[in-house]
Structure 1
Amino acid sequence: MNDVIIIGGSFAGLAAALQLGRAGRKVTVLDTGLPRNRFAGHSHGVLGHDHKPPQDILAAARQQLARYPAIRLVATRADNISGAIDDFSVFTSDGETLKARRLILSYGVVDQMPNVPGFADSWGTSIVPCPYCDGFEVAGQHWGVVWSGPQSHQSVRLFRDWTDKLTVFADGHDIAPELQADLALRKIPVVDGRIVEIAHHTGHIETVNLDTGRHVAVDILFAQPRNKPSASLHESLGLATVDTPTGIVLKVDERRQTSIPGIYAAGDLATPFLPSVTQSTWQGAMAGIFAQQSMLA
């Protein structure tokens, strides 16, 4: 029997495996090889790995884990989970049944691209969600902000640390009068109408095209499309979730444990705000440590 099965082998899952493997705990990591940030050319703000391709960082991590005999990495999908603490069963797409005392869910989320031509093609290149991840590289350029609700006002205030050239795209939303007044005071134009196309060249935005007929040129577009967990295991388990402006995440306590004893969660799957590689790595490490501590005699 495994001490821990980790479902999801990106930054959070591998960080959890590292802590458990170093404690001599038997660990199996199940991974489909489709990390959320595979569309990004580089990861930024990662200490010691700044401006490296995320796939290169993950490849180096997997290579480093190979020296720990207690860790097994398996390229497969977890299809179902049953059992309870100290006796979980995980059924894989390969037809294998694995047993474990604890589980860590780190299978992340997938971004749901809007049905706008050119949006998905530009995602990760010139349409990005996070200023901490990509802001430095495009500082001082003309940023567009796709309004998604009142939380976008905080984004606009935040973005002024990187650029003073901002345009807000209402994209069909009614922006509250007091927020419109504040944007006007900040000299940030608001463009009405829905976005119907992203005109681009190999993923680099040329114009944002609107149903009003306007074509607005920006250098980069910040957007927060909705996302959803990349698997439905949490639903079949009945785990508690938390609603966020862009989707749901798993509810965890201060020790990364979900609403079912013995099941922990880390990474974007359990991060309500500003997900990042750094945060996922930290959460994964802590989930591994807390899972280990929960098994002490």
Structure 2
Amino acid sequence: MQYDVIVVGASFAGASAAMQLVRARRTVLMIDAGQPRNRFSEASHGFLGQDGTPPHEIMGIAVEQLRAYPSFDMIAAYAEHASADARGTSVTLDDGRRFHARRLILATGVRDELPAIVGLQERWGRTVIHCPYCHGYEVRDRKLGVIATSPYSAHQGIMLPDWGPTIYFTQAQFEPEEAEIRQMLTRGVVIERTPVVKILGNAPEIDAVELADGRTVAIGAVFVGPRVHMSSPLAMQLGCAFEQGPLGPFIRTDEMRQTSVPNVFAAGDAALVFSNGTMASASGVMAGVSVHRSLIME
């Protein structure tokens, strides 16, 4: 079957894009492998009307609502290959099935790579977190630690005292600039230059961190900026241009979410320098509206 649009990825961005298109009475195929980035989080926060709701529940409702539209189809599978040219796009699944569409929206997300510190991974999304706007309130008034992973980590250190007393761990690699140090000290941030090597406590809780010199420092939650990688090879296969963000690459798009490849659009974490659920959903809405506009103007 020839679709108007294929959307790869069924999390906040992909589903938001699909909703605009099915409401415009366009045929949409959404493909999803069931491995969203937010699967480690117990709840989504800061999302208007959904604060505190588990991400899988939000998406379950979204898919149920999409299925109410007769022009919507969904396949649970891994999209293994994609191609695009001036005539349209195609996507091949890992089982060999191939689908064609006039437009393709990549909402494929990213994969997080945490520092190689013992105890981080099993706490990820609970007491080891990234975004203070998403999860800071839930760990408020605890002793908070920032484990630096890039120069951008200093901004986390400056922000976090609004949620709790903060220690900034440079990991002996990411020394703040002088102006940043002044801001940290003004806000009561303690700067620790000995690297964290281990997280202590019964996971998912944290009691303390262990430093390379053997000391332990009491900490209740850790903020860390993971390196990010594309969850899917599709953008690379298609030849999409990328930008380099502070935490890793993201797909370059214009303000209408069009990539550098004809007929291919991108939304969500894979195409945003900074993101959360609301930003991902908003970018998906823009992608859906922009794709519809491009179909009309064709």
Q: TM-score with structure 1 length normalisation?
A: 0.95
Contact 1:85/1:102 (CA < 8 Å) preserved in 2? Answer: no
Return the offset for 1:170.
1.4
Q: Deviations over 1:15-52 (max 9, x none)?
A: 11111001110100010011101000110011111101
Contact 2:84/2:261 (CA < 8 Å) preserved in 1? Answer: no
What is residue 207 of structure 2 aligned with on the other side?
206
Instruction: Go from structure 1 to structure 2 and tell me whether the alpha carbon gap of 1:28 and 1:174 turns closer, same or farther (over 3 Å shift).
Output: closer
Return the offset for 1:148.
2.6
Q: Deviations over 1:77-105 (max 9, x none)?
A: 11111231332121111211101100000
Return the offset for 1:177.
5.9
Contact 1:85/1:101 (CA < 8 Å) preserved in 2? Answer: no
Contact 2:88/2:263 (CA < 8 Å) preserved in 1? Answer: no
Task: State how 1:265-280 maps to structure 2 within 5 Å.
Answer: 265-273=266-274, 275-280=275-280
What is residue 16 of structure 1 aligned with on the other side?
17
Tell me how far apart the structure 2 counterparts of residues 253 and 185 of structure 1 sit (CA, whole Å). 39
What is residue 42 of structure 1 aligned with on the other side?
43
What is residue 251 of structure 1 aligned with on the other side?
252
Instruction: Go from structure 1 to structure 2 and tell me whether the alpha carbon gap of 1:90 and 1:139 turns closer, same or farther (over 3 Å shift).
Output: same
Tell me how far apart the structure 2 counterparts of residues 211 and 185 of structure 1 sit (CA, whole Å). 27
Tell me how far apart the structure 2 counterparts of residues 122 and 28 of structure 1 sit (CA, whole Å). 35
Contact 1:143/1:219 (CA < 8 Å) preserved in 2? Answer: yes
Return the offset for 1:140.
2.1
What is residue 134 of structure 2 aligned with on the other side?
133
Measured on the aligned residues, the alpha-carbon RMSD in Å equals 1.4
Larger displacement relative to structure 2 (67-76 or 114-123): 114-123
Partner amino acid, structure 1, of 2:282: W
Contact 1:90/1:98 (CA < 8 Å) preserved in 2? Answer: yes
Q: Deviations over 1:181-227 (max 9, x none)?
A: 54344432222222211113121111111111111111111100101
Partner amino acid, structure 1, of 2:273: P
What is residue 83 of structure 2 aligned with on the other side?
82
Contact 1:6/1:30 (CA < 8 Å) preserved in 2? Answer: yes
Contact 1:40/1:53 (CA < 8 Å) preserved in 2? Answer: yes
Tell me how far apart the structure 1 counterparts of residues 150 and 25 of structure 2 sit (CA, whole Å). 47
Larger displacement relative to structure 2 (199-208 or 148-157): 148-157
- 1:204 is paired with a residue whose SS is coil
What is residue 26 of structure 2 aligned with on the other side?
25
Tell me how far apart the structure 2 counterparts of residues 214 and 182 of structure 1 sit (CA, whole Å). 26
How many residue pairs match? The answer is 295
- 1:150 is paired with a residue whose SS is coil
What is residue 294 of structure 1 aligned with on the other side?
294
What is residue 198 of structure 2 aligned with on the other side?
197
- 1:30 is paired with a residue whose SS is strand
Q: Deviations over 1:128-148 (max 9, x none)?
A: 000110112222221111123
Unaligned runs of 5+ in 1: none
Contact 1:197/1:208 (CA < 8 Å) preserved in 2? Answer: yes
Q: TM-score with structure 2 length normalisation?
A: 0.95
Q: Report the identity percentage.
A: 38
Contact 1:86/1:102 (CA < 8 Å) preserved in 2? Answer: no
Partner amino acid, structure 2, of 1:286: M
Task: State how 1:151-190 maps to structure 2 within 5 Å.
Answer: 151-163=152-164, 165-176=165-176, 178=178, 179-190=180-191
Partner amino acid, structure 2, of 1:102: R
- 1:295 is paired with a residue whose SS is helix
- 2:97 corresponds to 1:112: no
Contact 1:86/1:101 (CA < 8 Å) preserved in 2? Answer: yes
Tell me how far apart the structure 1 counterparts of residues 269 and 241 of structure 2 sit (CA, whole Å). 15
What is residue 285 of structure 2 aligned with on the other side?
285
Unaligned runs of 5+ in 2: none
